[in-house]
Structures are given as C-alpha cells and as structure tokens.
C-alpha cells in the first residue's frame, strides 16, 4: 500500500466525513464506455461507499454519449446509480448554455448523446440559422457540410463550445477498433478557419464541477472527486475546492489541457481498495 498525501489539513483529508463522492468513468470505473469492463477496485470502493450511505455521482468527459447511455454502461458493469446522478460533458455543456441563454438555438456536432442532453435541458437543437451556439463533441460520422456550416455560424458570431477536450481517444466505431480524432481537434479546425476561440466545457472547467456538486445539493467541502487523470479529474476537482483522489492506471490517460490548474491530488493510490480503509 503506497499512499501519497498533499500537505493539507487533517479535516480536508478526512475522507470519513465526506458525503458526496463524484467518480470519473473511463479508465476509473470501467475501461471505457465502449469496453464497459469494470475495474474491480472501483467496484469494491463503490460498494463500500454505498454501504456507508453516502451519495454517489458520475461526472464524465464523454460527450458522444448521453447521460442515459453512460448510465446504461455503468449499471451493466455492476455500479448501482440513479440516472439523475450521472453527468456527462454534454449535459454540462447544456447547463452552461442554459445558464446564459435558456432555450438557445444550438447547432451540435456529435454522435447523438450531446443532442439528447441539450434537448433534455430545453434547448432548441437545430440545423438551421439563426444559431445562438455551436457545440462540438466527438463525432466519427461528421460530414464536411456539418463542419462547414458550424464554421460559418461561428464566423457569424455564434460562440463555440468544445464538449470536453480530448485530442483523440480509443473507441469502436462501425465495428472498427481504433484511435479516433477527438472534439478538441475538430474545434481546432473551426478556430483556425474563424479566428474564434472555443470555451471547453467539461472537466477541468471548475464551473462544471461546482455546478454538478450544487445541483446534487452538496457543498464542495463535502465532496470528493475520484479519477485517473490529473489534467481533467484532479485539476477540475482541485480548482472547485474538492478533495481529490487520483488512482494510478497504467494505460489510456487521455490528453487534456489543464493550463495553470493544480494537478496534484489530495491523495494518490495504486488501487481504490486502499481508500476503503480510510472511510
């Protein structure tokens, strides 16, 4: 057992009094949403937390699937969680737009998940001008027309939102297992063509993390963020003011930009089973 602690007060690190635990999904709970094999240490910690009676939630940067689809994947992998405690980057982006312009007309590049989350928030998802916001998620079926239309709408002044921020990611699409270009790379093309600068919505954006904790009815000081990625999970959790737990996974750390945010976890473990003794 190797536990590394940040030099913080005992209260901050007392995991026994935390009442909300927010988990990352890909490479933390399950391999990824297209390979939903659970990590046994995550399942054991999840069950121990359930037994303790704390609230469990999910905040994932996956933007190509809706909250409902992510919920299906984790439940199938053995994690009990109500659908309303599952937050995707698409749902976070929808909340971000809703907070600025309720009912906004949005053009979305994505595989359907973000569209579903935007509609669930009461936003007007449309392919026709006028467009208030352009939101871009990973989309392996994107056409030139869609990219061109998104670019034109941004040129006309629609703000552009990057739903999460991965340059590329592993997945299966139409039966092909491969690495795929992520939303950040699609957005880069639009930025290059227009000179506009996108807002990336998802972890590590602190607003999204704080919003999730607030919607669930908690304070950030009550909450723990658990994830595998220092640049998304840990940077976002730290910036929001949460206690952060980094689990070491040997592979598949997705590339994210975290800027100047602090990526040092409150606690770093080799296995999430190490955390159970600290509850």
Distance in Å, CB of 254 to Mg ion, minimum:
6
The DSSP bridge partners found for residue 225 are 22, 244
Binding residue (CB under 5 A) for Mg ion from 24, 32, 132, 139: 24
Q: Tell me: does residue 27 bind Mg ion (CB under 5 A).
A: yes
Does residue 26 interact with Mg ion by CB under 5 A?
A: yes
Tokens of 188: 């880069």
146 binds Mg ion (CB under 5 A): no
Strands 133-136 and 124-125: unpaired
Nearer to Mg ion, 229 or 266 (CB): 229
- C-beta separation of 199 from 236 below 8 A: no
The nearest distance, CB 62 to Mg ion, in angstroms, is 9
**What is the C-alpha to C-alpha distance for residues 170 and 163, in angstroms, rounded to an integer?**
17
As measured in angstroms, the least distance from the Cβ of 102 to Mg ion is: 31
Site for Mg ion contains 139 (CB under 5 A): no
Closest to Mg ion by CB, 38 vs 191, is: 38
Nearest to 36 by CA among 47, 27, 44, 45: 27
Least Cα distance to 29 among 64, 63, 58 occurs for 58
Span interacting with Mg ion, options 21-29, 51-59, 81-89, 122-130, rule CB under 5 A:
21-29
- Alpha-carbon distance 197 to 200, whole Å? 9
Q: What distances in angstroms separate CA 67 from CA 107, 116, 120, one per listed residue?
A: 19, 9, 10
Cβ at position 180, least distance to Mg ion in Å: 16
- Return the residues of window 211-240 that contact Mg ion according to CB under 5 A: 228-229
Question: Residue 24 or residue 211: which is nearer to Mg ion going by CB?
Answer: 24
Which residues of the shown chain bind Mg ion in the complex (CB under 5 A)?
A: 24, 26-27, 228-229
């Amino acid at each position: 057992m190797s536990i590394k602690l940040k030099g913080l007060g005992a209260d901050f690190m007392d995991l026994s009094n935390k009442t909300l635990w927010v988990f990352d999904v890909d490479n933390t709970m399950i391999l990824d949403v297209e390979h939903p094999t659970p990590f046994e240490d995550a399942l054991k910690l999840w069950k121990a937390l359930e037994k303790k009676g704390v609230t469990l939630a999910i905040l994932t940067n996956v933007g190509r699937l809706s909250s409902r689809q992510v919920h299906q994947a984790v439940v199938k992998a053995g994690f009990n969680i109500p659908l309303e405690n599952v937050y995707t980057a698409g749902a976070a982006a929808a909340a971000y737009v809703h907070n600025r312009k309720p009912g906004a007309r949005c053009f979305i590049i994505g595989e359907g998940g973000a569209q579903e989350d935007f509609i669930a928030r009461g936003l007007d998802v449309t392919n026709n001008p006028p467009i208030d916001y352009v939101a871009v998620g990973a989309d392996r079926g994107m056409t030139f027309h869609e990219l061109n239309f998104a670019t034109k709408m941004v040129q006309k002044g629609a703000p552009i939102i990057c739903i999460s921020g991965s340059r590329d990611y592993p997945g299966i699409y139409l039966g092909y297992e491969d690495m795929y270009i992520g939303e950040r790379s699609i957005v880069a093309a639009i930025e290059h063509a227009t000179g506009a600068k996108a807002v990336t919505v998802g972890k590590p954006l602190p607003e999204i993390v704080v919003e999730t904790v607030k919607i669930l009815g908690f304070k950030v000081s009550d909450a723990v963020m658990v994830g595998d990625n220092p640049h998304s999970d840990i940077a976002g959790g730290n910036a929001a003011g949460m206690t952060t737990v980094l689990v070491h996974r040997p592979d598949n750390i997705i590339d994210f930009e975290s800027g100047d945010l602090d990526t040092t976890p409150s606690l770093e473990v080799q296995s999430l089973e190490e955390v159970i003794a600290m509850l």
